[in-house]
Amino acid sequence: MSSREDILARVRAHKPALARPLPQVPFFDPPPGTDLPATFRESFVRMGGTLPDCGQDDPLDVVRRIMSTAPVTCSRVPEIRGNRSLSDDTPPASLADIDIGVVRASFGVAETGSVCLTEEDLLVNTLGYLPQHLIVLLDPARIVSNLHRAYQRPEWRSMHYAVLQSGPSATADIEGVLVHGAQGVRSLRLFFVPGHDG
């Protein structure tokens, strides 16, 4: 017998013969009228992300100004141009010298301040990790209330890769002192920018 058959046979022989029905999972929705973008903002900042204040300026102009200070930039967003091009056959490790990457998130989660970045949003998955800094655009109309609603989204059934990113790379492995940029991006900045299909 193969290991597969051995393992499955042992599982069948040993699994407890107890009735343990699968429960219904409620959505635990917040009260109607909850301001999702405001909740998202609060959670996002708590996880270490920043939401730069654009004042009266167009957020895209603010992003362009930030980009202009960096030597190597790469954008997956049509409105923003970087100086490093990206195609679907770009080797993943070659993104290591990018200073700032820009992507548009598929959606956000108010409860946790997470943005969902899929393989389509990133084109090359390492765009989410190898740049020193990451800028994310999010359509405020695409914020769901909590994780139960988030997992109702279609991305989980269509994408091979998707991440809920909540703030920058962080560690507190040495004496509990929190440090950003442990391995992945050192900062995560977010701008609310309505999408064309939003």
Partner 1 sequence: MSGAQGSDLNRNPPHPGRLDHAEGASIPLHSRVREAQPRGAVINGDQPIDQAGAAERFIAAPEHERMHDARLWDLRQKRDRQMHGIAEWEDLRRLASEIKEHALTHLDHYLEQFETNARANGIHVHWAQDADEHNAIILSLLRDHGVKRLIKSKSMLTEECGFRDFMAESGVEVVETDLGERIQQLDDEAPSHVVVPAVHKLRSDVAEVFARTLGTDPDDDDVHYLTEQQREKTRPLILDAQAGLTGANFVVAETGTFVVCTNEGNADLSANTPPLQIASIGIEKVIPRLEDLPVFVRLLSRSALGSPITQYTSHFRGPRRGGELHVVLVDNGRSERLGMEQFWTSLKCIRCGACMNTCPVFRRSGGLSYGATYAGPIGLIIDPTFNRHRYSSLPFSSTLNGSCTNVCPVRINIHEQIAGWRRVLAETHELPLMKKVIMREAGHLLSHPALYRTAIATADSALKHLPRFMVYNRLNTWGHGREVPAPPRETFHQWYAANRATKKGKPA
Taking CB under 8 A as the criterion, which residues in 129-148 touch partner 1? 129-130, 132-133, 146-148
* Under rule CB under 8 A, residue 38 binds partner 1: no
* Single residue of 33, 55, 56, 69 touching partner 1 by CB under 8 A: 69
In this chain, which stretch among 32-40, 55-63, 70-78, 190-198 interacts with partner 1, using CB under 8 A? 70-78
Q: How far is CA 76 from the centre of its chain?
A: 14
Residue 63 CA, chain-centre distance (Å), reads 18
Closest listed residue to residue 139, CA positions, set 77, 85, 49: 77
Shortest distance in whole angstroms from residue 77 CB to partner 1: 19
Stretch that binds partner 1, among 33-41, 51-59, 111-119, 189-197 (CB under 8 A): 111-119
Kindly tell me which residue out of 54, 62, 119, 192 binds partner 1, with binding defined by CB under 8 A: 119
Taking CB under 8 A as the rule, does residue 196 contact partner 1? no
Find the radius of gyration of the CA atoms of the chain: 20
- Which of 54, 127, 59 has the alpha carbon at shortest distance from 95? 127
Does the footprint of partner 1 cover residue 34 (CB under 8 A)?
A: no
- Out of 37, 99, 140, 192, which residue is the one contacting partner 1 (CB under 8 A)? 99
Q: Which residue in the set 104, 128, 135, 143 belongs to the binding site for partner 1 (CB under 8 A)?
A: 128
CB of 31 to partner 1, least distance (A): 11
Distance CA 188, CA 47 (A): 10
Whether residue 157 contacts residue 28, with contact meaning beta carbons closer than 8 Å, is answered with: no
Other Cβ atoms less than 10 A from the Cβ of 79: the count is 15
Under rule CB under 8 A, residue 82 binds partner 1: no
Say which amino acid occupies 177: V
Of 2-10, 32-40, 57-65, 135-143, which part binds partner 1 (CB under 8 A)?
2-10
Q: How far is the CB of 38 from partner 1 (least distance, A)?
A: 16
Q: Classify 156 as helix, strand or coil.
A: helix
Nearest to 127 by CA among 137, 139, 119: 119
What whole-number distance in Å separates Cα of residue 85 and Cα of residue 73?
9
Q: Per CB under 8 A, which of residues 154..193 are in contact with partner 1? A: 156-157, 159-187
